[in-house]
Structure 1
Amino acid sequence: MNSYLSKTTILLLTLFTSISACNKPTKETVKEITIAIQPFGNFSDDDARYIASEIQKAYPKVEIMLPMDFPSSAYKKDRKRYRADSLINYLSRKSSSEHVTIGLTDEDISATKDEHKDWGVMGLGFCPGNACIASTFRLSKEQKLDQLFKVAIHELGHTQGLPHCAVKTCFMRDAEGKNPTNEEKEFCKECKRLLINKGWHLR
């Protein structure tokens, strides 16, 4: 009798433990990536290091790649500028599944916007995606690096699935054809929450 009760008790304890383990909520696994800084052409090494150091404050896994030549297919000779979407596609093909690559350039870049087939832009990022591009060409010379960081972090936000944001001080606000970067301070609360869920180190 005691032996029977003992076996029954063990069975019930085993069953209870199994049920508890199955019902225990599990945290969603976040795929860890590395952000690759890809300078194009003669982009400054010092500027690349600055952008990398600023991005690392929000996402520690950052590496700087060796400079790369522009793909000739991305150049629009009549406008003397590079197609941002072509550059992104080029970077995307070269990015591994563990990387999100941001290209940095001093050259003018453009993209199609509404009825404008060749609209000059500061940056572009697919939403979501594994590559984006940022340019200093349309930025203030006096505040070039600070503004470039804000353009870069904005485009990286797009790669993580963030859309444009209505909060005017958020990095994800829509530039709307202008350069509002001096008004941007940080990611807003909602954008920050979404990035934290993806492993970003934001307060």
Structure 2
Amino acid sequence: MKIILPLFFVLNLLFSSCGKKQQLHIAIQPFVGVNQVDIELVKSSLVENYKAKVDVLTPIEIPENTFVNVKSPRYRADQLIAYLKAQKADSIDHVLGLITKDISTTKQNPDGTVKLPKSKYEDWGIFGLGYRPGASCIVSTFRLSKRRPDRRSQLIKIANHEIGHNLGLPHCDRDPNCVMRDAAESIKTIDGVGSTLCDFCKEDIR
């Protein structure tokens, strides 16, 4: 009995730990210029909505090679999330970049061709971008409303939306209030949704 009893407890511990889901670990990587209030807003919303452990990293300079000036001075979001992914520590599940500058990407059709008109969509200004699924995403404050309450609400929604993509969630068409709803190229769409995942999306990431 003296041998079996400790063995029972060891096996019980192993089986219980196997069934327990690890807490999500997210890091916020601010680029130079992001204010502390915005960082804390994003941090608290990620903790609340994803029950995540969230660390805030030391602000860094924007990589110069991500800058473009096609229609206006911008930074390429696809290159920024690739940079964040490459810099991410192994102990962190996802890293969310916060930037004050305008960011852009190339909007494509399902077959990979640039959406027409090309002059509009080849360097398309966006609110945020994230791999789906993947390790990194980026959110810009540049295009947010100038009104403080709207601006804060928009920032929280975009941050939660992009982390949702990192977790593998597509755009949601099952609940019109879900934060994963497609923005459809309009800030008004973002204003019209909630700041949390719908029950369907919550179930998808469990």
Shorter-chain TM-score bucket reads 0.7 to 0.9
Q: In the alignment, is residue 111 of structure 1 matched against residue 105 of structure 2?
A: yes
Report the CA distance between 1:102 and its aligned residue: 0.3
CA contact (8 A) 2:23 2:52 kept: no
Paired amino acid for 1:96 = A
Q: Deviations over 1:111-151 (max 9, x none)?
A: 11022211111000010000000111111121112111100
Which segments of structure 1 move beyond 4 Å, counting only runs of 4 or more? 26-29
Tell me how many residue pairs correspond in the alignment.
175
Relative to structure 1, the CA distance from residue 97 to residue 28 in structure 2 (aligned partners, 3 Å threshold; closer, same or farther) is farther
Any conservation in 2 of the 1:129–1:159 contact (CA below 8 Å)?
yes
Whether 1:193 aligns to 2:186 is no
- What is aligned with 1:169? 177
**Which amino acid is 2:202 matched to?**
K
Residue 68 of structure 1 corresponds to 60
Q: Which residue of 2 aligns with 1:52?
A: 43
Please tell me whether the aligned partners of residues 32 and 98 of structure 1 are also in contact (alpha carbons under 8 angstroms): no
For 1:31 and 1:90, the matched residues in 2 are separated by: 26
Correspondence 1:97 to 2:90: yes
Q: Aligned runs of 1:1-203 on 2, under 5 Å?
A: 30-58=21-49, 59-78=51-70, 79-99=72-92, 100-114=94-108, 115=115, 116-142=121-147, 143-166=150-173, 167-179=175-187, 180-185=189-194, 186-195=196-205, 197=206
Specify the code of the residue in structure 2 equivalent to 1:125: G
After TM superposition, the structure 1 stretch with the greater mean CA deviation from structure 2, 86-95 or 133-142, is 133-142
Residue identity over aligned pairs, in percent, reads 38
TM-score in terms of structure 1 length: 0.79
Structure 2: runs of 5+ lacking an equivalent: 1-11, 109-114, 116-120
Amino acid at match of 2:190: T
Q: Which runs of 5 or more structure 1 residues have no equivalent in the other structure?
A: 1-20, 198-203
Instruction: Quote the RMSD (CA, aligned, Å).
Output: 2.1
How many angstroms does 1:28 deviate by?
Answer: 5.0
In 1, the alpha carbon distance for the partners of 2:151 and 2:57 equals 21
TM value normalised by structure 2: 0.78
